[in-house]
Structure 1
Amino acid sequence: MDIDAFVAVHQSEWDRLAVLSDRRRLSAGEADELLRLYERTSTHLSMVQAVEPGGSLAAGLSARLGRARTQLTGSGGNVFEGIAYFFAQSLPAAFYRIRWLTLILGAAFIAVAVGYGVWTSHHPQLDLLMPEAERQELAESLFVEYYSEHPNSSFAAQVWTNNAWIAAQEVAFGVSGVWVPFILFVNAQSIGIAAGIMAEQGAADVFWLNILPHGLMEITAIFIAGAAGLRIFWAWVAPGQQRRLTSLAYEGRRLITVAVGLVIVLLVSGIVEGFVTPSGLPPWLKILIGAVVLAAYWVYTLVLGGRAHRAGVTGDLGRYDAGAHELTA
């Protein structure tokens, strides 16, 4: 075997192996590439050792394989570094990928809610939907009491659980393609009808004061969950050049990242609904707090997420969490 020619042909592969072996963190795709290069270089080492078992080339390849082996089989790295990477790179990148679909679902939701609100407030036979006495009770006491009848902490936990359940349905059944639109339509309809009744009773200001502080972020979280669920559906319908199961797995791993982020987003909105909405703070301050929370989310998504996206981060799980992508024998 001509060693010089062998080196010339395979040097680029060995260099790439060294680069991947020295990286502190690999994406799932890079981990797959590292494994392939490791197996190929192991074969190269065997070939070299058959010709020059004690040569410098064999020693160099052995050292590179050792570093690659450590990268492949070592621990997942410092846990705090992993957490920092998740919140600074993976999560904002995952949110960024679904930003447009999130906005589209939000626009559709608002259109449905406004439509039902106008229809309800001007309906000539509104008594058939809800008797006058019940509408008055809703506007004068029930709507506001809903936010203050329970202790703040328990109410915040209840809100978090309820919203998480809605988001979980969108995530779990998003692959069907119909459940997300259905859930969003039903919730938009409910909010629109409630707004229409409050407006008809002359209590529109009460409605908005008790909805906006927490609702700005809370409803946006439902849009995010819907967008993530529909991405799973689209990965199944249009997998592109990938196999259908591979496409679903690829998008599903990103969905896990979004789901973890939604737990935190819904927790924040639940805290606002449990402690800010029923508080004695000035109305303008309550709404400002809600607006700041929403603005913080979009800054996080567009600034950090955009930067991570341009750096090639996709929101996929790391190699230790993602597991093997393909079975090989």
Structure 2
Amino acid sequence: MREVAFIKQNKQKWLNFEKAIFGKQLKNPDELASLYIQLVNDLSYAQTYYPKSKTILYLNNLTARAFQKIYKTKREDNNRFIHFWKTEVPLIVYEYRRYIFYSFIISFCFIAIGVLSAANDGAFVRLILGNAYVNETLENIESGDPVAIYKSGSNWGSFIGITLNNLYVGIQAFLYGVFAGLGTVYVMLHNFIMVGSFQYFFHQQGVLWESVRGIWIHGSMEIFAIVIEGAAGLILGASILFPKTFSRITSFKIGVKNGVKILISTFPFTIAAGFLEGYVTRYSNTMPNWLSVGIILTTLSFISFYYLVYPFMVNKKLKEFHATL
């Protein structure tokens, strides 16, 4: 069968299925499962006979969303909260994994720019971090406590203030994606050039290790979360620029929906980072190296596993589910 005939024969069925998945009046789980099996069969047929066709992209996207919808409505998975973190977010992250990759590349590039700029221009660090911060940190280094600035204020006050600021940065990184992704890149540029110049400043003063063992207690999750939030913003921008088989407005709605879910998934990590900065980082100079390094590696491993490893595990389970149909 020619591809045109294949599309013409199944187009209405696919449109009806889209309405069942995205519409307000949802079909019951059994009916959805039946439609899902038909959709998987169509996808398999398209992969066999039209391997380079855009139809495969459309059907694969629809199949993934159908899988999420079916699992959301299954009785044994009636806890919406658990489903969101355990299945829904990982599948979305896997679907948009290339944007996570792009976000990491952009972040590393801006960090490198920050390092090189600070290394070649003595005034750059003051331009980025401000004279007050630099002067106070220099005084702290002379007194033997390079990260003493994180001891100012009360524990709970620092926790709340820092957390609210980091949540604001994350939301900003996502929302600015509406400007074709350029707004997100700007937010990332500002934050990651600051990270690069900030760390080079401590290296220049001969206290890089002291800064790493203190600052990255909270920074590992805080910075990683900004990378993921940047990816969510890039997804939003791409939904406008590259609608694929959807209309631009439909693509934008999907981009907003999925981007928001990824954004929300970073909030617990951002809050945890704020807690560590308010209650733990201030004691980094008194704790043994093994403890500070252990905290850094544990937090970094946890957030890395959730966004870089676990989505592949969930997707593998999805493929195994397909194989049983």
Q: Given the two structures, how large is their TM-score scaled by the length of structure 2?
A: 0.66
**Alignment pair present for 1:161 and 2:154:** no
Tell me, in whole angstroms, the C-alpha distance in 2 between the residues paired with 1:127 and 1:84. 44
What residue is the counterpart of 2:262 in the other structure?
258
With over 3 angstroms needed to count, the CA separation of the structure-2 counterparts of 1:128 and 1:162, relative to structure 1, is closer
Deviation of the 1:112 alpha carbon: 2.5
Which amino acid in structure 2 is aligned with residue 309 of structure 1?
N
With over 3 angstroms needed to count, the CA separation of the structure-2 counterparts of 1:209 and 1:307, relative to structure 1, is closer
Deviation of the 1:102 alpha carbon: 2.3
With over 3 angstroms needed to count, the CA separation of the structure-2 counterparts of 1:137 and 1:90, relative to structure 1, is same
1:25-83 Cα shifts (integer Å, max 9, x gaps)? xx935977739x99xxxxxxxxxxxxxxxxxxxxxxxxxxxxxxxxxxxx998996111
**Alignment pair present for 1:148 and 2:151:** yes
With over 3 angstroms needed to count, the CA separation of the structure-2 counterparts of 1:127 and 1:291, relative to structure 1, is closer
Q: What is the correspondence of 1:61-210 to structure 2 with a 5 Å cutoff?
A: 81-123=79-121, 136-137=138-139, 139-140=141-142, 144-176=147-179, 177-210=181-214
With over 3 angstroms needed to count, the CA separation of the structure-2 counterparts of 1:295 and 1:226, relative to structure 1, is same
With over 3 angstroms needed to count, the CA separation of the structure-2 counterparts of 1:174 and 1:126, relative to structure 1, is closer
Q: How many residue pairs are counted as aligned between the two chains?
A: 253
With over 3 angstroms needed to count, the CA separation of the structure-2 counterparts of 1:301 and 1:111, relative to structure 1, is closer
Which amino acid in structure 1 is aligned with residue 300 of structure 2?
L
Deviation of the 1:234 alpha carbon: 0.6
**Percentage of identical aligned residues:** 21
SS in structure 1 at match of 2:245: coil
Gaps of 5+ in 1: 1-12, 21-26, 39-74, 314-329
Residues 159, 277 of structure 2: 8 Å contact kept: yes
Tell me, in whole angstroms, the C-alpha distance in 2 between the residues paired with 1:218 and 1:204. 19
SS in structure 1 at match of 2:79: helix
With over 3 angstroms needed to count, the CA separation of the structure-2 counterparts of 1:298 and 1:222, relative to structure 1, is same
What residue is the counterpart of 1:288 in the other structure?
294
Match for residue 298 of structure 1 among 289, 299, 304: 304
With over 3 angstroms needed to count, the CA separation of the structure-2 counterparts of 1:156 and 1:283, relative to structure 1, is farther
SS in structure 1 at match of 2:112: helix
Residues 137, 147 of structure 2: 8 Å contact kept: no
Deviation of the 1:226 alpha carbon: 0.7
With over 3 angstroms needed to count, the CA separation of the structure-2 counterparts of 1:265 and 1:94, relative to structure 1, is farther
Q: What is the correspondence of 1:20-35 to structure 2 with a 5 Å cutoff?
A: 28-29=21-22, 34=27
**Alignment pair present for 1:234 and 2:232:** no
Which amino acid in structure 2 is aligned with residue 87 of structure 1?
W
Tell me, in whole angstroms, the C-alpha distance in 1 between the residues paired with 2:122 and 2:257. 50
Residues 119, 196 of structure 1: 8 Å contact kept: no
Structure of larger gyration radius:
1
Q: Given the two structures, how large is their TM-score scaled by the length of structure 1?
A: 0.65
1:284-322 Cα shifts (integer Å, max 9, x gaps)? 322321221221123233454224335559xxxxxxxxx
Which amino acid in structure 1 is aligned with residue 199 of structure 2?
A
Deviation of the 1:224 alpha carbon: 0.6
What residue is the counterpart of 2:275 in the other structure?
271
Tell me, in whole angstroms, the C-alpha distance in 2 between the residues paired with 1:100 and 1:170. 17
Which amino acid in structure 1 is aligned with residue 314 of structure 2?
A
Deviation of the 1:202 alpha carbon: 1.8
Match for residue 228 of structure 2 among 215, 221, 224: 224
Deviation of the 1:193 alpha carbon: 2.2
Which amino acid in structure 1 is aligned with residue 173 of structure 2?
E
With over 3 angstroms needed to count, the CA separation of the structure-2 counterparts of 1:312 and 1:117, relative to structure 1, is same
Residues 217, 295 of structure 2: 8 Å contact kept: yes
Residues 177, 184 of structure 2: 8 Å contact kept: yes
Tell me, in whole angstroms, the C-alpha distance in 2 between the residues paired with 1:161 and 1:254. 23
Larger helix proportion of the pair: 2
Deviation of the 1:211 alpha carbon: 2.2
Q: Which has the larger displacement, 297-306 or 169-178?
A: 297-306
Q: Which has the larger displacement, 233-242 or 200-209?
A: 200-209
Which amino acid in structure 2 is aligned with residue 207 of structure 1?
S
Which amino acid in structure 2 is aligned with residue 34 of structure 1?
K
Superposed CA RMSD in Å reads 3.6
Tell me, in whole angstroms, the C-alpha distance in 1 between the residues paired with 2:233 and 2:135. 41
Tell me, in whole angstroms, the C-alpha distance in 1 between the residues paired with 2:146 and 2:103. 26
Residues 89, 304 of structure 1: 8 Å contact kept: no
Which amino acid in structure 1 is aligned with residue 274 of structure 2?
G
